[in-house]
Amino acid sequence: MSQKASPATGTGPCSGRQYRFASRMAKTPKSFIREILKVTENPQIISFAGGLPNPGLIDVDGIARAAASVLAQDGRSALQYSTTEGYLPLRRYIADRYKKRLGLVISPDEILITNGSQQCLDLLGKVLVNPGDHVAIERPGYLGAIQAFSLYEPVFHPILLHEDGPDMAQFAHEIDRNAIRFFYGVPNSQNPSGITYSEDRRREIGKLLADRDTLVIEDDAYGELSFDGTALPSLRTFLPEQTIITRSFSKILAPGMRLGWVVAPQQVMDQLVVAKQASDLHSNYLSQRIAYEYLLHEDIDKRIEGIREAYKQQCGLMISLIEEMMPDTVTCTHPKGGMFVWMTLPEKISSMEVFEQAIRDQVAVLPGTPFYVDGGGNTTLRINFSNATPEKIRAGIGRLSRVIRALERE
Amino acid sequence: MSQKASPATGTGPCSGRQYRFASRMAKTPKSFIREILKVTENPQIISFAGGLPNPGLIDVDGIARAAASVLAQDGRSALQYSTTEGYLPLRRYIADRYKKRLGLVISPDEILITNGSQQCLDLLGKVLVNPGDHVAIERPGYLGAIQAFSLYEPVFHPILLHEDGPDMAQFAHEIDRNAIRFFYGVPNSQNPSGITYSEDRRREIGKLLADRDTLVIEDDAYGELSFDGTALPSLRTFLPEQTIITRSFSKILAPGMRLGWVVAPQQVMDQLVVAKQASDLHSNYLSQRIAYEYLLHEDIDKRIEGIREAYKQQCGLMISLIEEMMPDTVTCTHPKGGMFVWMTLPEKISSMEVFEQAIRDQVAVLPGTPFYVDGGGNTTLRINFSNATPEKIRAGIGRLSRVIRALERE
């Protein structure tokens, strides 16, 4: 398991003092995305490198109405300390929505409100992972999860992703060989690959893990962003006592409100609440109240429908341009939802080279290597379509294909 | 170092499944305060047990104006993802305020915006503490810090607090005997004791720790809540490269916005930013924008002046009633700021007994034991004055003194 480590000790430019850091910090990959996003902050650059929702689809007016209403009607309470678990009516709303959308019976007591779903991953690492514990993750796997879990020093076992989900033979092999504490996956429109697990594959995962101690962390960031509104069954359907779900309002309401949640069986939840309290007492209460007010009085379903439709157009345009303009040696996934397309280059072209050349032509893409906990992925690229206009998609894919064609000729 | 451990494995009432948790969870004291606060949720009860700011002093209208303005003028950006470090103008404002108030020269790059100052403690534990590392903490020490650090499994060395600060002989002894990674303290109006370190004591701590590797975490939650506006020097004045400061807007603006910050030397900050990104990407951006808008257009100094004046009255009333109504065997601290008075009972009376008797008379206090990492504190009580009207203070202290007098007669 090779990982790029950030230096855990060192002297700064202005001070001779040596600081000692916890050894877990050396295990945490420095965010490659973070460094790249700095390069792409230049507004001249067409960026497919990030993972931002389309800001034009955020309902600023609706949120402003909700904020004004909460502050006018119950501001003193909304601005005070609150409970670690989160605002109960909001947790009830989330529970009801699971019932309606997926037929899942979830108690509000099994839901904890977090600072975006990234915090779920940190809390789960805290509660579940001893150093050296075995953890299975998709290959490629979500970088935010790799970063969050790495601080708790697990041994990662990457499971190859096919177009319909994890490689079940490899999964079974890893499960038999190691005491896997949990499998972490993104079954709906995965980040970074855009892959959605088939219903069969979900059922097979259920069969493989039933009667075992292995838990499943189902990161459902994009579950409501399937382009045609399809809602495939959660792994909780097959593994009700073993599945933990993480999600957030970032992709359907607004990321700046930092509201996510984790669904977990009661015993796990009890430990998550202890960890959450020690970590930051509770999530932003004002935002929780605003979100609930919004959900109560505005039409979130219509909003989500609008986001789906827009992303479907943006994704469709991007794929058709890739197929039209790129050499035949380039392949890409055909996502059914979410925010990313995953591109694979011919073997002789490195994605890092593509990144460096493309940035000179003012288009930014994300090399796939940081999504591989075991190295590899040198010919892969993650391309974000949610935060680009059709014009930018046309211009950006045009420039990118010229860069790739030039590298292929070299 | 004995600690009450929450069970790290167990079966729930409805499920036979055994879940395994990370061993760090067994090291984290279950929040006693949390359990007690549940008892005191009954609105009939006069509660001195919590630590809430007076909600009547929150400027709901000013915050509502700031929220409306941010959402109207720049809502789309305020609701999008943002940087891990936090909103730069807000960090600049905080840096300027340190210069004006305490003469500290701090770069905005040395400031990270967090979810309340509790998150600073979690991030510092993550970045600094290996299991078994030695950490010094006040005795009694802030429970939130004990909980946050415990997850990183240090060995605590409690340093007795006197009326003017830590016992320097004991501090020197601990520093000589162990490689203390850091000392954590609350020099201004400490939680739970209400004690403020004298300037001499601060200087002595500076001398003791200079030329050593030991860092200082100065939790300055109550620094601006000194009743007479006195601002004693930060330990950073004496130990500029070794001092980390944590603070929040919870006590001066609004806790529900969950905005805190940590000030740390650049090398430590670099690691904190990596840990923050892995923990939750960034703090609530909407709240950061609202807070900055508020600070820019409303009069925060006048607000703070109002809070100081109110708390001074509430604290003064509480102390005079304690001295008037309690038996002579009861002593209490005379805080110069903050939110808590610390009471010591005669040896034959246990604070747990007082808690249990008092709750029957519908008044809640907080037994001091959870603030002691090494056991002890059985005759101490923390009494909060910030969140009670003069009427409630009168009635509550009256009932409490009757309970204590009755127990003394037994």
- Contact call for residues A381 and A342 (beta carbons, < 8 A): yes
Residue B9 has pLDDT above 50, yes or no: no
Cβ of B64 within 8 Å of Cβ of A76? The answer is no
| CA–CA min distance A62, chain B (Å) | 10
pLDDT tens across A130-149, in order?
A: 999 999 999 999 999 999 99
Q: Which residue has the tokens 């008044």?
A: B363
- Intervals of chain A under pLDDT 50: 1-13
pLDDT tens across B222-276, in order?
A: 999 999 999 999 999 999 999 999 999 999 999 999 999 999 999 999 999 999 9
Which of A25, A257, A278 comes nearest B274 by C-beta? A25
Residue B156 has pLDDT above 90, yes or no: yes
**pLDDT > 90: what percent of chain B?**
90
Cβ of B78 within 8 Å of Cβ of A10? The answer is no
> Mean pLDDT of all residues in chain B?
94
- Contact call for residues B222 and B337 (beta carbons, < 8 A): yes
> Best of A217, A281, A293 to disrupt the B interface by mutation (most B CBs within 10 Å)?
A281
pTM strictly above 0.90: yes
- Residue A62: its chain B contacts at CB < 8 A? none
Distance CA B337, CA B227 (A): 5
- Residue B28: its chain A contacts at CB < 8 A? 274-275, 278
Cis peptide before B192 (omega within 30 of 0): yes
> Best of A14, A18, A19, A283 to disrupt the B interface by mutation (most B CBs within 10 Å)?
A19
Distance CA B236, CA B387 (A): 31
| CA–CA min distance A41, chain B (Å) | 11
Which of B58, B181, B257 comes nearest A284 by C-beta? B257
- Number of Cβ pairs closer than 8 Å across A and B? 266
Q: Which of B30-34, B105-109, B114-118, B343-347 has the lowest mean pLDDT?
A: B30-34
pLDDT tens across A69-122, in order?
A: 999 999 999 999 999 999 999 999 999 999 999 999 999 999 999 999 999 999
Distance CA B257, CA A285 (A): 6
Neighbouring C-beta atoms of residue A207, cutoff 10 Å: 12
DSSP classification of residue A7 = P
Residue B10 has pLDDT above 50, yes or no: no
Cβ of A268 within 8 Å of Cβ of B19? The answer is yes
pLDDT tens across B191-222, in order?
A: 999 999 999 999 999 999 999 999 999 999 99
Q: What's the complex ipTM?
A: 0.95
- Residue B132: its chain A contacts at CB < 8 A? none
Distance CA B315, CA B303 (A): 18
Confidence of residue B31 (pLDDT cuts 50, 70, 90): low
Cβ of B122 within 8 Å of Cβ of A60? The answer is no
Which of B82, B129, B151 comes nearest A126 by C-beta? B151
> Best of B128, B279, B303 to disrupt the A interface by mutation (most A CBs within 10 Å)?
B279
pLDDT at B32: 67
| CA–CA min distance B258, chain A (Å) | 5
Neighbouring C-beta atoms of residue B164, cutoff 10 Å: 14
pLDDT at A30: 66
Give mean pLDDT, residues B112-117. 98
pLDDT tens across A271-302, in order?
A: 999 999 999 999 999 999 999 999 999 999 99
Q: Domains in chain B, ordered, with CATH? A: 25-58+302-409 (3.90.1150.10), 60-297 (3.40.640.10)
Give the SS3 label for residue A341. Answer: strand
Distance CA B364, CA A133 (A): 43
pLDDT at A1: 35
pLDDT tens across B37-96, in order?
A: 677 678 889 999 999 999 999 999 999 999 999 999 999 999 999 999 999 999 999 999
| CA–CA min distance B232, chain A (Å) | 26
pLDDT at A363: 95
pLDDT at B16: 77
Q: Nearest residue of B to residue A41 by CA position?
A: B83
Neighbouring C-beta atoms of residue B162, cutoff 10 Å: 13
Strand partners, A341: A383
- Residue B148: its chain A contacts at CB < 8 A? 278-279
- Residue A133: its chain B contacts at CB < 8 A? 22
